[in-house]
């Protein structure tokens, strides 16, 4: 069953078209990677699917609800971790989690359970009393992603979750994402091809707001005649043929 389905989804700004008639299906329990060069329309797509930006045309359904008509219902079922580290800097790690859980209406017992779960899943317990601003970049990003799980979303959007992190921190976040995928649908945007190879079930390649390819890695290799995601990606965005 589809967790996300877009129908001719468009986003136009006065000076540019960010997303052009996007038709895409992402299935429940899948980890779907959206690839593209800068300005391809990945983040705009995520912002529309998370009801942060209203589309100029078309519609999309998240867990069966329309982003045009059912934004409140969708917001209760999803969460997002944007590419910038989005944390409360002067709050401790534990306070950050409690704050976001309270804001989303969780009871005291639920907050305790959520906090314990996230301490365990992200190993945040060891830094729980540290202020977020004093953490390393890797820990801050972990906390930022952990906050997106406070609401126990059915669909999680991760916009470039490992951007700017060193290789060790990136691998740790990959491990966490692999563990998460058992329980939810994940949509991930990234610039890192090895991230796609390590994590994604299927991928989509965008360029200038258009979706050029959707499918599995194996399909991408077969259609592009290449043997790595990076080579295939360069082939596709460079205008190369995709032989069926």
Sign of the CA dihedral running 20, 24, 30, 33: negative
User: 23, 57, 103, 179: which one contacts other proteins (CB under 8 A)?
Assistant: 103
- Comparing CB distances to other proteins, the nearer of 15 and 72 is 72
Give the integer Cα–Cα distance in Å for 26 and 94.
33
Contact (Cβ atoms closer than 8 angstroms) between residue 4 and residue 187: yes
Taking each helix axis from N to C terminus, what angle separates 229-237 and 217-224, rounded to the nearest 10 degrees? 60
Give the integer Cα–Cα distance in Å for 69 and 183.
27
- Piece in contact with other proteins (CB under 8 A), picked from 3-11, 95-103, 120-128, 181-189: 95-103
Does position 194 bind other proteins by CB under 8 A?
A: no
CB atoms within 10 A of CB 136: 12
Does position 191 bind other proteins by CB under 8 A?
A: no
Does position 95 bind other proteins by CB under 8 A?
A: yes
Name the nearest CA neighbour of 206 among 59, 51, 44: 44
Long-range Cβ pairs for the range 105-112 (8 Å, 24+): 106/150
Q: How far is the CB of 208 from other proteins (least distance, A)?
A: 21
Q: How far is residue 64 CA from its own chain's centroid? A: 19
- Comparing CB distances to other proteins, the nearer of 88 and 198 is 88
Q: How far is the CB of 139 from other proteins (least distance, A)?
A: 15
- Comparing CB distances to other proteins, the nearer of 35 and 147 is 147
- Comparing CB distances to other proteins, the nearer of 85 and 176 is 85
User: 56, 66, 102, 228: which one contacts other proteins (CB under 8 A)?
Assistant: 102
- Piece in contact with other proteins (CB under 8 A), picked from 33-41, 45-53, 179-187, 193-201: 45-53
User: 68, 91, 198, 234: which one contacts other proteins (CB under 8 A)?
Assistant: 91
Does position 77 bind other proteins by CB under 8 A?
A: no
Does position 52 bind other proteins by CB under 8 A?
A: yes
The CA-to-CA distance between both ends of the chain, in Å, stands at 25
User: 80, 173, 193, 214: which one contacts other proteins (CB under 8 A)?
Assistant: 80
Tokens 């299927």, residue located? 202
Q: Cα dihedral angle (164, 169, 172, 173), rounded to 10 degrees? A: -20
Residues 127-186 that bind other proteins (CB under 8 A): 131, 147-148, 151
Instruction: Give the interface with other proteins as residue ranges (CB under 8 A).
Output: 47, 50-54, 72, 75-76, 78-91, 95, 99-100, 102-105, 131, 147-148, 151
């Amino acid at each position: 069953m589809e967790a996300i389905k877009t129908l001719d989804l468009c986003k136009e700004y006065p000076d540019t078209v960010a997303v052009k008639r996007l038709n895409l299906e992402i299935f429940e329990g899948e980890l779907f990677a959206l690839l593209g060069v800068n300005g391809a329309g990945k983040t705009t797509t995520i912002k529309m699917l998370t009801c942060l930006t209203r589309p100029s045309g078309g519609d999309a359904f998240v867990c069966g609800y329309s982003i045009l008509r059912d934004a409140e219902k969708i917001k209760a079922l999803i969460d997002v971790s944007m590419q910038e580290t989005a944390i409360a800097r002067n709050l401790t790690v534990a306070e950050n989690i409690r704050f976001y859980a309270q804001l989303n209406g969780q009871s005291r017992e639920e907050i305790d359970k959520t906090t314990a779960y996230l301490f365990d899943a992200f190993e945040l317990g060891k830094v729980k009393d540290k202020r977020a601003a004093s953490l390393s970049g890797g820990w801050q990003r972990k906390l930022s992603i952990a906050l997106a799980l406070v609401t126990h979303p059915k669909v999680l959007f991760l916009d470039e979750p490992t951007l700017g992190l060193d290789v060790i921190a990136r691998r740790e976040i990959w491990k966490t994402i692999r563990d998460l995928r058992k329980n939810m649908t994940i949509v991930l945007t990234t610039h890192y091809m090895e991230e796609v190879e390590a994590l994604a079930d299927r991928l989509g390649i965008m360029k200038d707001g258009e979706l050029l390819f959707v499918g599995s890695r194996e399909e991408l290799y077969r259609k592009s005649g290449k043997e790595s995601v990076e080579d295939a990606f360069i082939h596709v965005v460079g205008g190369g043929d995709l032989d069926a």
